[in-house]
Structure 1
């Protein structure tokens, strides 16, 4: 039976791998070699990757691809995308090319506020805690002067503080809601540092507040943390054209537009559809978020919360036809950065920003919203015309062939065969079986 290990983080990488091999890999040398195969040949680059997280054993590679031809606000982009899903880059590229010929994408940042909260307990009079907060609000502001000095010099910093009473929902629960502008930084560390300093000041001042001393009832901070729900950090992207411009050799424009709008309405109405609908949007968003070294988990959490902001989960995209003009748009809450974190450390992240022509945070927000809109357009277009599987399985064919260890010659023959035949795992197995007889 495997035993717990102590001091694991203090072991060398070789010792960690040796422990893993002994306890979980049955001393399988091939498994150990897999870990070593993915080390970077450049020791300094490997050390950089080792330092990103604790207990690093190797690197986990994902494809880094490019989706070209994105015309956004009259500027042409090639979008770097990091993803393992076979059809994402192809779908984004197809949508970009489609709209390139129809005026491209328009995008605008609506707002950029981020926020965090100081959560605390108080079981006394609501009027007393309100009076205390109003009295010490200036001191909370001044307590973070040193922390926000550089941010304020660039035009950012703490914007506002307000007291929120939630004691009618959870007994004794209040929080201080703080809003921030963090400019080109995602700002998580900055916001959390400010909140913790203000929380310390809050409790210190509470000990000297006369009304609390009389009742021997003091507020107690439970925690201080930023929020990844950022509905005030909002970006919009859209495409539009006359319905006749949607006509292709596969479908008539007006009928296609009507089915497309109907598909969006279904995603607004039916939660089970909306979840998959929005997952497809995030295929595009996350791929660019990852490529630029931003936090895709934070983005995902905030976006899905926004999709449920009206007390039910719904589509993130919208579509309409008015006066024979088709309009398709998206609004997303996106807190991302172009400085700090991995953005200046990971070599491929730095390269991604070069490819994007070194955008600031607002421009990156627009690019991400467009990536999501393009991905959703490609998905809905497939769903209401040929069906999703034809294109998806075509892209997935190579994965199946690699799983079956097909040779280059076998891959070539399979690609030719399945251009005219339905792709499935069993069909590919049968085809290769007959080919190898």
Structure 2
């Protein structure tokens, strides 16, 4: 329908239920919408209103728990928030199949984030570059003075890089952000030091903001799957072939890496971290060689076993943002039992590797649709109106018939309901 107007003066100043009344009136919604949006679930309306602008409700996603994971010798439960069928089950299955070989082993680099400062109209950029490098101690003093709490926790300014890009001078501040995601800390440092950089170079400062290509803050995971666990050499070779396809063809790599991010983003979201930042960094990192490639690497290891590795930027934190303000994120972090952002990053990397293993194995054997559609059948049954125990019955019939479609689900549900109880 055509809305009367989207111009609502003072909309942001209203309470959530008052905003909702306005939206219902303008959009011509039924009263059912009011009851639906007024149910904020397990987030207090006041908390949701403080997180973003113009709140009228919340959007709930299922949270599943991945089991079977052993990460660096420790048993690990992992909550995952996602709407996509098969994601959680895939991690569980992949983790179960590598338990006998020790599970997942991980490590990380230091939690260093990059702030970028763009300088323009610099008369002699190469000369200015060297002059800035000679000022690094003064720059460190200015940056560290902006965040004494970070310094108390062992973080702060670590180094500086200066790049000449065409007619611009780009300064990178490298900052150890400890257990924070770090955006606010590095942005504040960039703002503080930018006037000095402009003065020393004779140029003008423009953009002052972090880079989401956090290639100094990497998480790495590796694991081995035995031939016995995966079903033999043919399965292994099929998976290696699938990996090689993704590594040489960006069309395949996009879907291959999206599968990795299915798992990673689900844990990032459940922990209250920024999925968009992690996804942007991951896909940029996949292109660091000059073309878009697989984020994972798969090889034949000792005794012919399958080995997989994943190295990925992982700018996640436990301090600030939704990790503290979102009550569900806090409970998910309690399930994870993590005390540091470093441990959280390691867990997320392991989940990404597990997700990739599961997807490649499905593609190399039964095909992706068999397992995926078996789980998707429940969604289709729900869409058709199935309730309670009808959901499992309709889903089972859809899978048995080999056609997981909405129209067929409607027919099956009607037949089921017409039968005498």
Alpha-carbon separation, structure 1, partners of 2:384 and 2:9: 41
1:142 maps to 2:141: yes
Work out whether residues 394 and 423 of structure 1, in 8 Å CA contact, stay in contact via their aligned partners in 2.
no
Residue 405 of structure 1 corresponds to 385
2:13 is the alignment partner of 1:33: no
Alpha-carbon distance, 1:132 to partner: 4.1
Please give the alpha-carbon distance, in whole angstroms, between the structure 2 residues aligned to 1:257 and 1:130: 51
Aligned residue in 1 for 2:350: 370
Give me the TM-score of the superposition, normalised by structure 1: 0.89
CA deviation after TM superposition for structure 1 residue 348, in Å:
1.4
| Aligned pair partner of 1:22 in 7, 20, 25 | 25
- Do residues 4 (structure 1) and 7 (structure 2) align? yes
Q: Deviations over 1:299-351 (max 9, x none)?
A: 00000000111111111111111442321111111111012212122111111
TM-score, normalization by structure 2: 0.92
Q: Alpha carbons of 1:336 and 1:436: their partners in 2 closer, same or farther (altered >3 Å)? A: same
**8 Å CA contact 2:97, 2:230 repeated in 1:** no
Give the C-alpha shift of residue 283 in structure 1.
0.4
Q: Match of 2:376?
A: 396
Residues 234-249 of structure 1 aligned to structure 2 (within 5 Å): 234-247=218-231
How many corresponding residue pairs?
Answer: 413
Aligned to 2:297: 318
Q: 2:212 aligns with which of 198, 211, 228?
A: 228
Partners of 2:76 and 2:336 within 8 A in 1:
yes
1:288 to 244, 267, 270: 267
Alignment partner for residue 201 of structure 1, among 196, 202, 214? 196
| 1:142-161 aligned within 5 A | 142-161=141-160
Q: 1:16 to 1:315 in 2, by over 3 A?
A: same
Deviation at 1:60, TM superposition (A): 1.0
Structure 1 residues 66-75 or 111-120, which shifts more?
A: 111-120
1:333-378 deviation line (CA, Å, top 9, x unaligned):
1111012212122111111111111231111111001111111111
Q: Distance in 2 between matches of 1:191 and 1:271?
A: 33
1:51 match: secondary structure: helix
Match of 2:77 in 1: 78
Structure 2 unaligned segments of length 5 or more: list them: none
Structure 1 spans left out of the alignment, 5+ residues:
207-211, 213-217, 248-252
Contact 1:102 1:245 in 2 (8 A): no
1:372-415 C-alpha deviation (Å, 9 max, x unpaired): 11111111111111111111111111111111112435334324
Q: Structure 1's 134 and 412: CA in aligned 2 closer, same or farther, altered over 3 A?
A: closer
Shift of 1:83: 0.6
Instruction: Pick closer, same or farther for the CA change 1:41–1:332 going to 2, 3 Å.
Output: closer
8 Å CA contact 2:398, 2:408 repeated in 1: no
Does structure 2 conserve the Cα–Cα contact (< 8 Å) formed by 1:120 and 1:221? yes
Query: Are 2:415 and 1:431 aligned?
Result: no
Distance change (3 Å), C-alpha of 1:7 and 1:388: same
Structure 2 CA distance for partners of 1:127 and 1:348, relative to 1, 3 Å: closer
Worse-matched range after superposition: 235-244 or 268-277 = 235-244
- Alignment partner of 1:55: what SS? coil
Residue 164 of structure 2 is matched in structure 1 by: 165
- Asked whether the 8 Å contact 1:143–1:201 carries over to 2, the reply is no
The answer on 1:327 being equivalent to 2:307 is yes
Cα RMSD for the two superposed structures:
2.0
CA distance in 2, matches of 1:40, 1:284: 24
